[in-house]
Structure 1
C-alpha cells in the first residue's frame, strides 16, 4: 500500500521546481501521460489501440474505426478539460458544476443528456437511481467542492465511485468519471492519474469500485425512487472507506509525479547523477532508477 506521505513529498519537490507544468501537447511528459491515459481509459471499456496507432490517428486528425474515434474523442476532450483544470490551479480557483460534466460527456461522443429510467451497471452491486439524476449530481458536485478545499485521497476515491454509481448518462460514464477525477487532481496542482486497463489492473479498479458500492448500497436503495436527502447522502459519503481504489490512485500519482519531476530536471539541464540521487531519495533502487530514466528518455 502506498503511503500518502510519499505523494506529499513528491508534490513538495514538484512545487519547489516551479509547480505543475502547463498541460500542452508540446510538453513530452504531458504528451506521454495523456496518450497513456487515453489508451488505458478506453481499454477499460474494451477498446484497444497501440501507442503507434494512437499517434497515427492524432496526426491525421481523422478517425475511421470505432476504436480510433473513441481514442480521438478521449484525447481531444481530456486535452481541453485539463487545460481548464490547469487554469484553476494557476488562478487558485475551482470551476466545476453540472454544465461541465455534461460537456465532458458530450465531447466524448455521448449526448450529454441525463438518462431516464433504469440502467444496469455490469458487475455492480447497486442499482443506480431511476430518477432525480440532477439532484444526485448536485450532491456529487457539493461533495467534490468540499474535497477541493482540502484534498483527501480517500474522499477523492469515494467521489469517483459515487459518480459511477449515479451513472447519469446512457453511455460514457466511466470515461467521463475518469476525466473528472483528473480534473480535480490537476486543479490542485497534481498530474493526471492513469487507471491502467490491462486485465490485472482492470480487476483491481472494479474491485475498488465494488468496495464503495457495498458501503453505498443502502443509501441508494433508500432513495431509489425519490429525491435524495442531501444531508444524509453526504453524511454517508464521508463515512465510506476506500482501500483498493485509493491505492490505485496513489500508485498512479506516484508514477506520474516521478515522470513529471524527472522531465523538469532534464529540461533544466540537470545531469544524470543528480536525477539518480533524486530517485534514490524517493525510494528507487539503482536498477529501478536506470529503468525509469530510460523510459522517460524513450518517451521523448
Structure 2
C-alpha cells in the first residue's frame, strides 16, 4: 500500500512548483484526468465509451445514445464542480452543503430530489436507511466540513463510503458521490482520482465500499444522532478504499508534476536508466513505483521521469 505520507510529500513538491494548475482544457494533464475519470465513473454504472467516442461527443456536444448522454452529463458536471473546488483551493475557503449535492445530482441528469422510502443496492449486504434522509445527509455535510479542516485520506475514504451508504437519491448516487469525493480533493489542492470501472477494478471498488457496512448497519436502525454519528465516523478505519484513493492520487500527482517539468523544458528519461545512476537494478523499477517511492509516468508500457525530481522520495 502507498503511504499517505508519500502523497503529502508529492503535494509539497507540487506546491513548490506553483500548486495545482487550474482545471482548464488546454492543460493536457487535466484534460486526460477528466476524460478518463468520466469514462471510468460511468463504466462503473454500466455505460461504456471509448476514448475516441468520448472525444467526439465532447466536440459535437450532440449525444445520440444513452452512453453518450451519461458521459456528456458527467464530464460537464465534473468540469464545473472541480472548477468550483479549484476556487475553494485558491481562496482557502470551502463551499459545501445540501444545495450543492442536489445540484450535482440534477446536472448529472437526475431529479436532485431525495428518495422517499426503501431502496435496494445491488450486491449490498444491507439496505440504506429508509427514513431521515435529509438528516443523514446533513450529518454527512458536517463531517465533510470537519474533514476539510482536519484532512486525512482515511477520513476522505470514510466520507465517500458514508455518502454511498446513505444513498440519498433514487438514482445517480455513485456518480454524485465520486464527484463530491473529487470536489473535496481539488478543494484541498489535490487532483481528482480515477476509480477504475473495468470489471476487476469495479469489484475492488465495491468490495472497498463494503468495509463501511459493518460500521453503519446498527447506526442506520435508529434516528440519527449527529454527535454520536460524527464521533463514529472519526473512529472508523477503512484500508481498502483509502488504498484505491492513494494509488490514483500517486498516478495523477505524478502526471501533473512531470507535466509541469516538461513544459519548463525538462526531458523525460526512462526510470530504469535513471535508477542505474543510483546503483539500483532495472528490475527494481516497478516495485519502487508501486510503493510510491519514484515520481514517474507510464508511456507505451515504459516508466519515465525527469532527472531533477525522480529520486526526491527515495
Flag whether TM exceeds 0.5 (same fold).
yes
Report the Cα distance in structure 1 between the residues aligned to 2:91 and 2:84, rounded to whole angstroms: 11
The alignment status of 1:231 with 2:242, answered yes or no, reads no
The alignment status of 1:283 with 2:293, answered yes or no, reads yes
* Preserved contact between residue 209 and residue 241 of structure 2 (Cα < 8 Å): yes
Aligned with 1:244 (options 240, 243, 249): 240
Listed as ranges, the matches of 1:204-283 within 5 Å are 204-221=204-221, 223=222, 227-273=223-269, 283=293
* Preserved contact between residue 254 and residue 297 of structure 2 (Cα < 8 Å): no
- CA shift for structure 1 position 241: 1.3
Question: What residue is the counterpart of 1:298 in the other structure?
Answer: none
Question: What residue is the counterpart of 2:89 in the other structure?
Answer: 89
- CA shift for structure 1 position 284: 3.9
* Preserved contact between residue 160 and residue 178 of structure 1 (Cα < 8 Å): yes
Deviations 1:53-79 (A, max 9, x none): 000000000111000000000000000
Structure 2: which 5+ residue stretches go unaligned? Answer: 276-284, 306-314
Report the Cα distance in structure 2 between the residues aligned to 1:134 and 1:153, rounded to whole angstroms: 26
How many residue pairs were aligned? 290
Report the Cα distance in structure 2 between the residues aligned to 1:49 and 1:158, rounded to whole angstroms: 30
* Preserved contact between residue 58 and residue 72 of structure 1 (Cα < 8 Å): yes
Report the Cα distance in structure 2 between the residues aligned to 1:36 and 1:168, rounded to whole angstroms: 26
- CA shift for structure 1 position 285: 9.7
Report the Cα distance in structure 1 between the residues aligned to 2:76 and 2:295, rounded to whole angstroms: 37
Report the Cα distance in structure 2 between the residues aligned to 1:272 and 1:235, rounded to whole angstroms: 47
CA shift in 2, pair 1:24/1:252, >3 Å = same
Listed as ranges, the matches of 1:125-140 within 5 Å are 125-140=125-140
Richer in helix (by share): 1
- CA shift for structure 1 position 149: 0.4
Structure 1: which 5+ residue stretches go unaligned? Answer: 295-300
Tell me the secondary structure at the aligned position of residue 238 of structure 1. Answer: helix
- CA shift for structure 1 position 128: 1.1
Question: What residue is the counterpart of 1:44 in the other structure?
Answer: 44
Deviations 1:215-269 (A, max 9, x none): 2111112x2xxx4111111121122111110000000100000101111111111
* Preserved contact between residue 114 and residue 169 of structure 2 (Cα < 8 Å): yes
Report the Cα distance in structure 2 between the residues aligned to 1:236 and 1:284, rounded to whole angstroms: 36
Over the residues paired in the alignment, what is the CA RMSD in angstroms?
2.2
Deviations 1:36-61 (A, max 9, x none): 00000000001111000000000000
Tell me the secondary structure at the aligned position of residue 302 of structure 2. Answer: helix
The alignment status of 1:189 with 2:189, answered yes or no, reads yes
Q: How high is the TM-score relative to the length of structure 1?
A: 0.91
- CA shift for structure 1 position 287: 10
Question: What residue is the counterpart of 1:297 in the other structure?
Answer: none
* Preserved contact between residue 70 and residue 108 of structure 1 (Cα < 8 Å): yes
Question: What residue is the counterpart of 2:162 in the other structure?
Answer: 162
Question: What residue is the counterpart of 1:74 in the other structure?
Answer: 74
